[in-house]
Amino acid sequence: MGFCLQKSLLRIYVMQEREDLPVSLLWSHVLNLLLLACTSPKIDTCVSNTQFLTEDLWPLISTDCLSCHQENSIAGQSSFLLKTTPQESEEMIWSIGAQMIGNSEQSWVVSKSRGLSNHGGGMRVQPNSSEERIMKEWAARSQEEHCHFETSSAQIEHSETPIVRLSPVQIQNTIARAFGEEYILDSVPAIYIQEAEYKNREGYTTTELQALKHYFEQITPQIISAQNECEDSNCLEEWLFSKIKILIRRPLSTTEKDIYRTIIEEESGLEEALEQTLLTALLSPQFLYRNTLHNIPSLPIEYAQLEEITYFLWDAPPTVQMLEEVAEGTWNMDSYETLLYDEQTAQTVARVHRDWLGAAKILGRRKDTDRYPNYQRQHARNVLKEFMLFSESSYKEDPTIQHLFTSRYGWVNSTIATIYNIEHDSSDWSYTQLPEERGGILSRASVIASHTTSLHNLIPHRGHMLMRRLFCQEYGLAPNTFSIDTLPPGEPMAPQDMIAMHQSNQVCASCHMHIDPIGLALDSYDALGFWDSSMNTAGDFSTFSFSFTNLQELQNQLVQQPELYQCYSQVWMERAKQNHLSDSDIAWARRQGTYMHQYQISIPSLLSTIIRASILDEYTP
């Protein structure tokens, strides 16, 4: 039984138990590799996969054998080795089939097969279900396309560390590390929302891979033509291998080098051959996926640990020097402590803060054109950049939660100066003291504007969004019986009257008693982040166990609450795990947050603790 996609023969071997196979090759990951096969470079011949069984086994699902298309003729072959239990094998096969059908012209057959659009990979189809019967029927009609499946039973071992794809910023940073930023034409396609970059995304959809392939096809000719280190073919080959080593974060195996040489030999011109080889490397799982190095027994564990640490702290691979030190046996894992204060770490901290507080949502927010006729997208870019610069400088000056929520220093250009009501005529960015109403990270225009569309009631929405993010607490939706028509007619309600109405209803009060005061603290800021003293609502606001009169007092109170530190620790723990956290992980993160609050531990110290627990396994979270 088989499934065809783009006239390519995909032969899947489910082998008996073998010691020389990767121990954590999950079926959902193989599914994603099949998607890679649909967009990898087309070549005329396919190297036998038996070559992959001699040394490091991860390359067996890589390089040119990902895709061997032959135009206007019988399809080439791509072989994949994996292991599974008898109970899982059938489910796995049909899941792969569902995804392939879902990305073909038969997508109407199984609409649910878009599993890779969400966290994780693929769709599990129940045996003897209607979906399975439909797929079998479709597969029977596909026999003329030369499709083939060969299966047998074996055993799979699941890995604690998920194999996840690189985020757009990680792809760009890895290419920049290998070839230099000057060779990057433009930003990597935003293949999924920024806020989920540190979440577990096991695979790519075909559309995403096609976008990446198009991007790689643009940059590879530029990279090859710009190199000026070598002239003869041997030197160029070694130059390319040294760059691929950075891309895949480890030395190439002898087998991999032979396969890449085969690709080079098949091209008529050397420059075209190098471009094709580089494109193949960029579309290989070794580059596009993280946490694969644990699967190579002959590889020192330091390669895997270093990859996890640098992507955690930098969103980038290890440097050439680090890789050389690991190869020489001189790298000391305690050296990662120096990375905590690196410029790249400060940039990563800013990105985490951006995602945590939802500051980048301003880029997609609509604003009321009647109230804000002059609003332009450049405004959104400026306020987001100001947020990033503020977060970076805050980390460099005093990397504590206390400083992050109280600092009155920040960056301004002419646009930000207008919003923050200070004098600054230059378009250049300058570091300066800000007005009192701009103290702390919550007063950044991007945070305020990101949680305001000017098309809905601001106070509950702002309060809900910030409470959910600051304390990692979820609040339910309004009751189904609630309708805006039930509100009193006439003039808009005063903020305090609205809060009183919410709290007079027992159903509403359970949530609104917490979220409304937070939203009310931002009521002096409009939908673009401007502050207007005439909009200030007088009075004391209370939520949980503390009171405040404005946003600055709110932030001073927040840094005294252990729940803020617990949530902050949980955010970083989720990034380290690259997955949704288990109950035990959440409990551990919250204990660390409590400790961070009690002893006012710095952010770098928190990151160090998470690295030692989640990556170096010095103790169990």
Distance (Å, whole) CA 333 – CA 297: 19
SS3 state at 546 = strand
Could you give the dihedral angle defined by the CA atoms of residues 349, 350, 351 and 353, in that order, rounded to the nearest 10 degrees? 90
Q: What is the pLDDT of residues 138-196, one digit of tens each?
A: 344 333 332 233 322 222 233 455 667 788 889 999 999 999 877 665 667 665 433 34
Q: Is the pLDDT of residue 299 over 70?
A: yes
Q: What angle do CA 333, 336, 342 make, to 5 degrees?
A: 165
Closest to 33 (Cα-Cα) out of 315, 287, 295: 287
Quick one: how far is CA 320 from the chain centroid? 24
Q: What is the pLDDT of residue 98?
A: 41
Q: Is the pLDDT of residue 486 over 80?
A: no
Do residues 444 and 387 touch, judged by C-beta distance below 8 A?
yes
Q: Is the pLDDT of residue 587 over 90?
A: yes
C-alpha distance from residue 180 to each of 177, 222, 336 (Å): 6, 12, 23
Do residues 446 and 353 touch, judged by C-beta distance below 8 A?
no
| DSSP character string of 301-313 | HHHHHHHHHHHHH
Q: What angle do CA 170, 172, 173 make, to 5 degrees?
A: 65
Q: Where are the domains of the chain?
A: 9-145, 164-341, 346-558, 562-614
Distance (Å, whole) CA 99 – CA 391: 41
Q: What is the pLDDT of residue 545?
A: 67
Q: Return the higher-pLDDT residue of 375 and 402.
A: 402
| Least reliable range by pLDDT among 203-217, 290-304, 415-429, 530-544 | 530-544
Helix (H) or strand (E) holding 77: strand 77-82
Q: What is the pLDDT of residue 262?
A: 79
Q: Please report, rounded to a whole number, the percentage of residues in the chain having pLDDT higher than 70.
A: 63
Q: Return the higher-pLDDT residue of 171 and 516.
A: 171
Q: Return the higher-pLDDT residue of 59 and 442.
A: 442
The count of C-alpha atoms lying within 13 angstroms of the C-alpha of 110, restricted to the half-sphere facing its C-beta, is 30
Q: Mean pLDDT over residues 222-231, rounded?
A: 84
Q: Is the pLDDT of residue 131 over 90?
A: no
C-alpha distance from residue 283 to each of 39, 197, 246, 255, 510 (Å): 8, 19, 15, 18, 51
| Least reliable range by pLDDT among 366-380, 527-541, 546-560 | 527-541
Average pLDDT, the chain: 71
Q: What is the pLDDT of residues 454-468, one digit of tens each?
A: 655 577 778 888 888
Q: Is the pLDDT of residue 54 over 90?
A: no
Q: What is the pLDDT of residues 11-44, one digit of tens each?
A: 333 333 333 333 333 333 444 444 344 333 333 3
Distance (Å, whole) CA 233 – CA 335: 38
| Least reliable range by pLDDT among 103-112, 281-290, 342-351, 432-441 | 103-112
| DSSP character string of 366-383 | ---TTT-TT--HHHHHHH
Q: What is the 3-state secondary structure (H, E, C) of 276-295?
A: HHHHHHHCCHHHHEECCHHH
* Strand segments (E) across 319-428: 409-412
Q: What is the pLDDT of residue 19?
A: 38
Highest mean pLDDT of the ranges 9-18, 187-196, 473-482, 608-617:
608-617
Backbone angles phi, psi at 80, to 5 degrees: -130, 135
| Least reliable range by pLDDT among 144-148, 270-274, 563-567 | 144-148
Q: What is the pLDDT of residue 503?
A: 72
Could you give the dihedral angle defined by the CA atoms of residues 14, 17, 23 and 28, in that order, rounded to the nearest 10 degrees? 20
| Least reliable range by pLDDT among 160-164, 251-255, 322-326, 493-497 | 160-164
Q: How many CB atoms lie within 10 A of CB 479?
A: 10
**pLDDT band for position 206 (50/70/90)?**
low
| Least reliable range by pLDDT among 110-124, 202-216, 275-289, 595-609 | 110-124
Residues 6+ apart with CB under 8 A from 574: 198, 199, 580, 581, 589
Q: Is the pLDDT of residue 52 over 60?
A: no
